[in-house]
């Protein structure tokens, strides 16, 4: 029976196939790779002996030492430069600090001056508004005084004849000493008239208040009388109802009239009262007859 696939065996170094075609391909791949291939040294090469390794390490050490010395020099030089830079930076920082203090003080002074200027502006604005208002008031007062002056001139011109008449009256009259005395007395009469009118209005108000109080008393008395009348009326109705119920109970009947049927209730009470009066008279007459008969006996 023929094989479907070739037999492949696994060895230590890889896959080995009994088939030559596959083995040749593996050999070619192995020749082309350098990872696991070690080239033998040449015939004239000294090889990696201990002395050669020492010499190589010594050379590498010397090179590293030179590099270290150079780096140390560079570090010292850089440290010196850094010290100089730090000093320079400190100087610059100190100068900037002083400059900052000066600028900050200048800014504060400017802010204080600005606040003072704003305050002065506000005060001056308020003062300007007040002065403008006073100026307007003065202008208004001047205009009013001008109008009053014109009116006063017209009034003086109008009452000029009365002044002459007043002077003539003072000359003729024996009561007035001068024109001023006449005017003062007239003013006193006018003031007295004003006081009289005021007193008159006050007395009229008092009279009106007295009238109002009298009306209130009369109204309160009327209200009290009406209330008492209504109270007596209610009590009388209650008494009639009680009497009606007592009479109905006496006769052993159920009250059939309502409280608003007062006429029927009164008729019923009158009938019952007349009956009771008749019964009482009959009893008294019978009692009198018995007493007379006893005396006769």
Q: Residue 159 and residue 34: Cα distance in Å, rounded?
A: 147
pLDDT of 4 reads 46
Q: Residue 102 and residue 232: Cα distance in Å, rounded?
A: 106
Q: Residue 182 and residue 187: Cα distance in Å, rounded?
A: 9
pLDDT of 86 reads 93
Least confident range from 33-47, 121-135, 167-181: namely 33-47
Alpha-carbon separation of residue 158 from 70, 155, 244 (angstroms)? 126, 5, 95
> Could you tell me what percent of the chain has a pLDDT over 70?
79
- The tokens for 233 are 């009326």
Helical H segments across the chain, by residue range: 20-32, 50-158, 160-172, 179-250, 262-296
Phi, psi for residue 258 in degrees, rounded to 5: -85, 170
pLDDT tens digits for 63-117? 999 999 999 999 999 999 999 999 999 999 999 999 999 999 999 999 999 999 9
Half-sphere exposure of 165 (CA within 13 A, CB side): 5
Domain ranges of the chain: 1-39, 52-158, 174-256
- Pairing between β-strand 15-17 and β-strand 8-10 as defined by DSSP bridges: antiparallel
pLDDT exceeds 80 at position 126:
yes
pLDDT tens digits for 179-202? 777 777 777 878 888 888 888 888
- Quote the DSSP letter at residue 5: S
- The tokens for 30 are 């192995």
* Mean pLDDT score across all residues of the chain: 79
Residue 15, beta-bridge partner list: 10
Does residue 17 sit in helix, strand or coil?
Answer: strand
């Amino acid at each position: 029976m023929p094989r479907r696939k070739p037999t492949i065996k696994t060895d230590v170094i890889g896959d080995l196939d009994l088939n030559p075609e596959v083995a040749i391909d593996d050999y070619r791949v192995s020749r082309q790779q350098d990872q696991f291939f070690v080239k033998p040294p040449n015939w004239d090469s000294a090889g990696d002996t201990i002395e050669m390794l020492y010499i190589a390490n010594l050379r590498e050490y010397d090179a590293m030492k030179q590099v270290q010395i150079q780096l140390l020099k560079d570090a010292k030089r850089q440290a010196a430069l850094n010290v100089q830079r730090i000093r320079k930076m400190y100087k610059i920082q100190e100068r900037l600090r002083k400059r900052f203090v000066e600028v900050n003080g200048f800014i504060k002074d400017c802010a204080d001056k600005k606040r003072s200027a704003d305050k002065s502006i506000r005060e001056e604005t308020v003062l300007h508004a007040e002065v403008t208002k006073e100026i307007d008031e003065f202008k208004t007062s001047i205009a009013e005084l001008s109008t009053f002056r014109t009116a006063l001139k017209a009034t003086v011109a109008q009452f000029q004849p009365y002044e002459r008449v007043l002077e003539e009256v003072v000359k003729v009259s024996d009561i007035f000493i001068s024109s001023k005395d006449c005017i003062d007395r007239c003013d006193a009469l006018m003031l007295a008239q004003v006081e009289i009118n005021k007193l008159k209005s006050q007395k009229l108000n008092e009279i009106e208040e007295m009238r109002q109080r009298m009306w209130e008393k009369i109204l309160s008395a009327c209200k009290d009388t009406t209330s008492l009348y209504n109270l007596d009326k209610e009590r009388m109705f209650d008494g009639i109802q009680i009497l009606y119920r007592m009479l109905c109970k006496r006769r052993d009947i159920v009250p059939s009239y309502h409280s608003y049927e007062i006429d029927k209730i009164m008729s019923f009470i009158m009938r019952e009262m007349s009956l009771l009066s008749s019964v009482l008279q009959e009893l008294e007459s019978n009692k009198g007859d018995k007493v007379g008969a006893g005396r006769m006996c």
